[in-house]
Amino acid sequence: MKNFTFLIFSICFGLSSFAIDLTITLTSIPTNTPVSDQIYICGTFNNWAVGSSTAIMQVQQNGTRQIVLTNVSGTIEFKFNRGNWDTPEGTAQSGYLPNRTYNTANGSTLDLTIAGWEDLPAGGMSTANGNVQILSTNFFMPELNRYRKIWLYLPSDYATATTKNYPVLYMHDGQNLFDQNTSFSGEWQVDETLAALQSQGNYGAIVVGIDNGGSERINEYSPWVNAQYGGGQGDEYIDFIKNTLKPYIDANYRTKTDAQNTALFGSSMGALISLYGVAAYPQTFGKAGIFSPSIWFAKTDVLNFINSKNFANTPLRLYFLGGTTESTSMVGDMQDAKNAFINKGVSAQTVNLVTHADGQHSEWYWKREFGAGYKYLFPVLTSEIKELDNPNLTIYPNPTKDSFKIECFQCAQKDFSVVSAEGKIVLKGKLENGQAIIDAGKFKKGIYFVEVAHEKGAVYSTKLVVE
């Protein structure tokens, strides 16, 4: 009779309504966990109190770590950390891990493992170069009421060229941009590519990498809802970049803040949200790298949105990339989006669509093509492209050992700069009647770039070789 009564009570009120003592055991932790660090647990059962002495996972004689949560009931939500929100648990690749959940009706013991830490590189030394830093492991996103890890790449001359401002790329899926240890299936080598280009004379750019939100990735990377896969938070995500992250970067780093020097860049769903962001806010984001875009996710909505705009007075520069065998619709979807932008006022000369027969929906492909996409988006900052666009700027003799003459009779202003291959300005001056004679005797042997201003504020450059 007692068992029958208990059964009826359980059906009516649910087993989870009973408070229990829950024993949580960590049977394994990452090998790179600092030996001096305590591991804490915080969650709904302790109001997410971080660093509380009562929330330490106690080391047991067998090497496991354990804690007993008293008087818990229902479904709890929690996460492990090493004492603060700068050190949360993550995936095995050091990526973002959503909060854990557990229904106490499932039992009073729970064995778990920690795969990795967000703030520590997985699998050994980081592959990111010295120009990469973690801006924050928990940058607050007020538009989404979430926190996110933000990466920052600074050009190689950032510390020395103290009066120089840089264009900025806001890139999605930050885990995959710089570090093999945090990547899903290989990194893009954005840092190595930009450093190599700058060593060859490229002006340089700042990159802000935003980690994806794991289980929230699809939701954040589309403003439109796909009935099967989700979406719908893309507006808030782009608003976060526009209204919170970009103002912070512009206030704390030397940036070129205008739309023509601000790009969105991503692949797959990251490409979809880049397309949306540049269409929604062309006064803020003037350029977009759109690699293997998931236009299929909401194609009708995408095209309707572009067709609702008028870009005649807000020039955009777009770079579409995809493999011809990625999917049956990839190339056609990109072509339709490209045509829609052009029909709504974007110049056909500033929209490029590139396809490759060997292109795949993969990080290795996007890594290979990143440099080409970047150079297309920022041609006036890329020496080899600038040289093709500036027939009015001449330098002779070139190469030179002693002196050289600059001629640019159609330049918009008289200022010029001589910049080293490392991006450092070694000389500034003014043209007189479109000309200047420069003594190169004090220059070290090597490659330089002479930069002058041209129409519409563009800065063109021609290579100079000093022997």
Whichever domain contains 425, its CATH number is 2.60.40.1930
C-alpha 355/C-alpha 369 separation (Å) is 10
What confidence score (pLDDT) does residue 429 get?
A: 85
Q: SS3 for 28? A: strand
What confidence score (pLDDT) does residue 460 get?
A: 64
What confidence score (pLDDT) does residue 122 get?
A: 64
Per residue, the 3-state secondary structure of 202-261, as one string, reads: CCCCEEEEECCCHHHHHHHCCCCEECCCEECCHHHHHHHHHHHHHHHHHHHCCECCCHHH
CATH number for position 100: 2.60.40.10
The predicted model scores a pTM of 0.61
Burial class (CB in 10 A: 0-12, 13-18, 19+), 343: exposed
What confidence score (pLDDT) does residue 85 get?
A: 83
Helices (H), 380-454: 383-389
**Residue 21, strand partner residues:** none
Asked if 173 contacts 270 with a C-beta cutoff of 8 angstroms, the reply is: yes
In this structure, the answer to whether residues 107 and 20 fall within a common structural domain is: yes
The DSSP symbol for 432 reads B
Domain boundary residue among 381, 399, 420? 381
In this structure, the answer to whether residues 400 and 371 fall within a common structural domain is: no
Burial class (CB in 10 A: 0-12, 13-18, 19+), 128: buried
C-alpha 324/C-alpha 313 separation (Å) is 33
Q: Compute the C-alpha angle 9/13/19, nearest 5°.
A: 100
What confidence score (pLDDT) does residue 382 get?
A: 44
In a domain, 2, yes or no: no
Q: Are strands 225-226 and 168-171 parallel, antiparallel or unpaired?
A: unpaired
Burial class (CB in 10 A: 0-12, 13-18, 19+), 433: exposed
In this structure, the answer to whether residues 107 and 149 fall within a common structural domain is: no
C-alpha 446/C-alpha 233 separation (Å) is 50
- Cβ neighbors of 443 (< 8 A, separation 6 or more) are 418, 426, 466
Q: SS3 for 174? A: helix
Domain that holds residue 429: 387-466
In a domain, 244, yes or no: yes
- Mean pLDDT per 10-residue run, the chain (467 residues)? 43 58 90 81 93 91 88 94 89 85 93 87 71 90 95 91 92 93 84 89 94 92 96 98 97 95 97 98 98 98 98 93 95 98 96 95 94 89 40 79 82 72 72 86 80 58 79
- Cβ neighbors of 218 (< 8 A, separation 6 or more) are 229, 230, 231, 269
In a domain, 4, yes or no: no
**SS3 helix, strand, coil % of the chain, rounded to 5?**
30, 30, 40
Q: How many helices (H) and strands (E) does the chain have?
A: 10, 26
What confidence score (pLDDT) does residue 125 get?
A: 62
In this structure, the answer to whether residues 451 and 360 fall within a common structural domain is: no
Cα pseudo-dihedral 56, 60, 62, 66, rounded to 10: -50
Domain boundary residue among 55, 87, 117? 117
C-alpha 122/C-alpha 140 separation (Å) is 24
In this structure, the answer to whether residues 191 and 309 fall within a common structural domain is: yes
Query: Nearest 5°: phi and psi at 208?
Result: -110, 115
What confidence score (pLDDT) does residue 36 get?
A: 72
34-69 tens-digit pLDDT? 777 899 999 999 999 888 999 999 988 777 899 999
Among the listed residues 266, 284, 283, the one whose alpha carbon sits nearest the alpha carbon of residue 275:
266
The total number of structural domains in the chain stands at 3
Domain boundary residue among 59, 84, 117? 117
In this structure, the answer to whether residues 331 and 375 fall within a common structural domain is: yes
Distances (CA, A) of 137 to 68, 85, 150, 234, 401: 29, 8, 6, 21, 50
275-315 tens-digit pLDDT? 999 999 999 999 999 999 999 999 999 999 999 999 998 88
What confidence score (pLDDT) does residue 242 get?
A: 98
